[in-house]
A and B are shown apart, each in its own frame.
Chain A
Amino acid sequence: MANNKKRFMQGNEACTEGALYAGCRFYAGYPITPSTEVMEICAARLPKMGGVFIQMEDEIASICAIAGAALGGLKSMTATSGPGFSLMQEGLGFACMAEVPCVVVNVMRSGPSTGFPTGPSQSDVMQAKWGTHGDHPAIVLTPASVEEIFHETVRAFNLSELYRTPVIILYDEIIGHMREAITIPGPGEVEIVERRVPSCAPSEYKPYDVQGGEIAPLASYGEGYRFHVTGLYHAADGFPTNNTKLIEEACHRLLRKIDDNKERIWKNEEYYLEDAEIGIFAYGVSARSAKFAVRELRKKGIKAGLLRPLTIWPFPDRAVEEMAGRVKAIVVPEMNMGQIVYEVERVAHGKCEVKGIFRVDTEPIRPAQIMDCITGNGSKPPAPNSKMAEMMVERDMLDG
């Protein structure tokens, strides 16, 4: 399209642009570093589009407000970081249980607690799956560039509508605050999924009746369908039940609706993986270093390859299993003390060696650190030989 201009944009701005492109018309949030720009841009953009922006009293209120708005028929989003994401866990569980589509962005910062608010991290990746209590489904996306944040935000809205579930977008402070070139697609160029609404008469509507598939259509409040929504285990009509059989079935179905569709939810990038002898499994900013490391290792004659998940949950079991069957070892660099590495280990199931590279000093994992781990120079952050050399590596890394 002629008017699809290339723009220079921050990751958090790309997230907002993606949300608006996907049809998000409701944002509720609370300021927190390093995600605040998402909120600030929504505050500027949504009123112009006739959408709703509201600053809530805390993150708990924010996630509850977006679920309320979603039931009122609007595509809704909130964004937060670390402590705010912790506060949102109960509300996330409600949205899972009540099957309310909404999108939650977590721009990861260092923790626990207040940690180092302006420092990046990848340490919420397990919380994103297991943060709320009880067995529940999770869809979590991990973009690694500004352009990808845009597209993954659109995909997050699409998935949330398709599967009637909250979708989490996880990226770290580096990508959130990084500026890169991005081309915003024109209207209609990227598919937008709209909510499936009931076609039956209001008197026949059951908000959790899955006879027509695993996901029931969702009516909006105030449109003649007077239905009930609760965080209690409920029957097909939405009303609470203490029937043990129905409870079991409801829990199974919640998990099944994601599990049965994981092939459609999974999204990976493979980079030089075909003939790789050493595999790297990396997401978010660490994958950018990994890509650079792969190129450098290949130059040295080491057959390294990268598997990069854009959907981290449901975990890409199949792709990891295949990789584990082909390579001698898988290296997992992540900016935490070891989280996803254990998932890789679980799936590799002894087929190959699995080794983690962890870093929590709020500095990104350098390509050299990954290369050293693979060539046998240990997994500690390397002492750079020359500051200049390392800076050059970093600049390259940012390019792709």
Chain B
Amino acid sequence: MSTPAEDVKPLAKKKKKVPFNYSPYVRGGKLPHIWCPGCGHGIVLKCLLRALHTTEISKDDIAMVSGIGCSSRTPGYVDFNTLHTLHGRALAYATGLKMAKPKLKVIVTTGDGDALAIGGNHFIHACRRNLDMTILVYNNSIYGMTSGQSSPTTPQGKISTTGRYGNIEPTFDTCSLAQAAGATFVARGTAYHFQELEKVIFEAMMHKGTSVVDVIDACPTYYGRFNKYKTPTEMMEKIEKEGTVSVKQADKLLPEELQGKLLRGVLYKSDRPEYCEEYNKLVIAVQAK
């Protein structure tokens, strides 16, 4: 039995944890969101807002641009300069906006279909140019908004409404694609590892240049149902927890043990010149002539 003094001591030492206040970032009257119960997108939004808070960038200086799809509904809920565009085209709009107003911190929220299929061309060219913007690919391996068709990240053998007998197409690895195309910050996180995700998004936003974060999250409504996952939690455990390994852990594992697993964390970083700055240099040089 502990003495009263011992009881009090640790309690007094413990800092009272102030819960994170999301309300300054969420637009009044726009919630509840349209996402299904169990959808991973809400967790991504939460991590995104917490990371943005840590950057201390003013809300007036943040622009959030999206395409079409469940993930692309994100800008409608947040109190920034927000632009909900066409399917696949978010990066093209974002490029124009960033060049017109370089002081804006541009964040693009997109999905696996939006970024890698219909918007694939814009994705690789955005990475190549290396404009200072952060691209979050909410990657749930399916088209959610149109009710469950195969996407460029649907694993082979998995079921969708357009892959009823199992998908036969190979997948894109968002991170390898981004790195090969020239993105200067490439990372992966999952909705399950939400604390890690917040950190990775924060780092991505602090990076100067195009940063891509592949966020593995779950669409229980379609992907989960078609592929016999009983609950959203089971999906998160099987796909996000068991299906990924952090970069640190990976160092200690044998190649066989890494088979079929996606790496989490910051996968690549370089400091190639940023596009807006390069353009600015060009303008100064040309004007001096």
- Answer whether A73 and B76 are a contact pair too, CB < 8 Å, given A47-B283, A226-B82: no
**Interface magnitude class on chain B:** 35 or more
Residue of A nearest to B99 (CB): A52
* 1/0 contact string of A13-32 vs chain B (CB within 8 Å): 00000000000001010000
Task: List 8 additional contacts besides A68-B97, A68-B100; criterion CB under 8 Å.
Answer: A28-B96, A60-B89, A64-B85, A221-B81, A222-B60, A222-B63, A224-B60, A229-B84
Is B101 within 8 A of A50, CB to CB? no
In the complex, what's the smallest C-beta–C-beta distance from A313 to chain B, in angstroms?
Answer: 23
Q: State whether the Cβ of B234 lies closer than 8 Å to any Cβ in chain A.
A: no
Q: Return chain B residues, CB-CB under 8 Å to A57.
A: 121-122, 125
In whole angstroms, how far apart are the Cα atoms of A225 and B60 in the complex? Answer: 7
B residues near A (Cβ < 8 Å) are 27, 30, 59-61, 63, 65, 75-76, 79-86, 89, 91-101, 103-104, 121-122, 125, 279, 282-283, 286-287
Is B279 within 8 A of A231, CB to CB? no
Q: State whether the Cβ of A58 lies closer than 8 Å to any Cβ in chain B.
A: yes
In the complex, what's the smallest C-beta–C-beta distance from B181 to chain A, in angstroms?
Answer: 11
In the assembled complex, 6 residue pairs joining A and B whose CB atoms fall closer than 8 Å, in A order, are A60-B92, A61-B122, A68-B95, A72-B98, A73-B101, A240-B84
Q: State whether the Cβ of A74 lies closer than 8 Å to any Cβ in chain B.
A: yes
Is B121 within 8 A of A58, CB to CB? yes
- Answer whether A47 and B282 are a contact pair too, CB < 8 Å, given A64-B85, A68-B97, A228-B75: yes
Is B99 within 8 A of A221, CB to CB? no
Is A69 within 8 A of B97, CB to CB? yes
The A/B interface has a contact count, at CB < 8 Å, of: 135
In the complex, what's the smallest C-beta–C-beta distance from A227 to chain B, in angstroms?
Answer: 7
Query: What is the size, in residues, of chain A's interface with B at 8 Å between Cβ atoms?
Result: 43
Q: Return chain B residues, CB-CB under 8 Å to A34.
A: none
For B95, give its contact among A54, A71, A228, A231 (CB under 8 Å): A54
In whole angstroms, how far apart are the Cα atoms of A47 and B278 in the complex? Answer: 12
Q: Return chain B residues, CB-CB under 8 Å to A69.
A: 96-97, 99-100
In whole angstroms, how far apart are the Cα atoms of A226 and B64 in the complex? Answer: 10
In the complex, what's the smallest C-beta–C-beta distance from B209 to chain A, in angstroms?
Answer: 17
Residue among A61, A64, A66 facing the most chain B CB atoms (10 A cut-off): A64
Residue of B nearest to A53 (CB): B279
Is A68 within 8 A of B30, CB to CB? no
- Answer whether A52 and B279 are a contact pair too, CB < 8 Å, given A26-B96, A57-B122, A72-B101: yes
In the complex, what's the smallest C-beta–C-beta distance from B89 to chain A, in angstroms?
Answer: 5
Q: State whether the Cβ of A101 lies closer than 8 Å to any Cβ in chain B.
A: no
Q: Return chain A residues, CB-CB under 8 Å to B94.
A: 68
In the complex, what's the smallest C-beta–C-beta distance from A165 to chain B, in angstroms?
Answer: 17
Q: Return chain A residues, CB-CB under 8 Å to B103.
A: 222
In whole angstroms, how far apart are the Cα atoms of A239 and B33 in the complex? Answer: 13
* 1/0 contact string of A326-362 vs chain B (CB within 8 Å): 0000000000000000000000000000000000000
- Answer whether A230 and B279 are a contact pair too, CB < 8 Å, given A68-B97, A68-B100: no
